[in-house]
A = this chain, B = another copy of it.
Amino acid sequence: MPRRIDHVAIIVRNLEQALIFYRDTLGLEPRAIQDVPSEQVRIAFLPMGGPQGSEIELIEPTTPDSSLSRFLEKRGEGMHHLCLEVDDIDAALQEMNEREVAVLDTQPRLAAEGRAIFLHPKATHGVLLELIEKRPQATRRVER
């Protein structure tokens, strides 16, 4: 069902510090660095592999009381979640529910680049797994 890996999210204490490694040392060019106050984070997207490629997403929590902040305090910096692109998030959610997979969302949430659901790590062998339907598809759906 998933068509590709969309991104791997890495949680970091300080985005600028992390970019010193990922951009300056490794040579990955950010396509966007965004402040997202509604989610209490700053994000940098580092694309690789062309239009069909996958990205590294660096996430810095900007407040001390978000769930991401608590994750960072508890686990330290590192990989936080894995995101796979699907064609139809509503169908994916329905299928996960039918198969009794633990989903953290009762309906798709609005993500930066589409609509998404998160699967609980207990259902995925330890991975916080995001499934996303990217915006072009979401827009097309609205037009039907």
Contact = CB atoms under 8 A, between A and B. Distances in A.
Q: How large is the interface on A (under 10, 10 to 19, 20 to 34, 35 or more residues)?
A: 35 or more
Interface string A1-31: 1111100101111000110011001111000
A64 interface: no
Interface stretch (A34-42, A110-118, A123-131, A134-142): A123-131
Given A25-B101, A54-B54, A99-B25, A78 B2 contact: no
A13 B125 CA distance: 8
A17 B67 CA distance: 29
Contact of A10 (B11, B48, B127): B127
A48 B86 CA distance: 11
B82 A8 contact: yes
12 contacts: A2-B26, A4-B48, A4-B49, A4-B53, A5-B49, A5-B54, A5-B55, A11-B126, A12-B125, A21-B124, A25-B101, A49-B52
Interface of A: 1-5, 8, 10-13, 17-18, 21-22, 25-28, 48-50, 52-56, 58, 76-79, 82, 84, 96, 99, 101, 121, 123-127
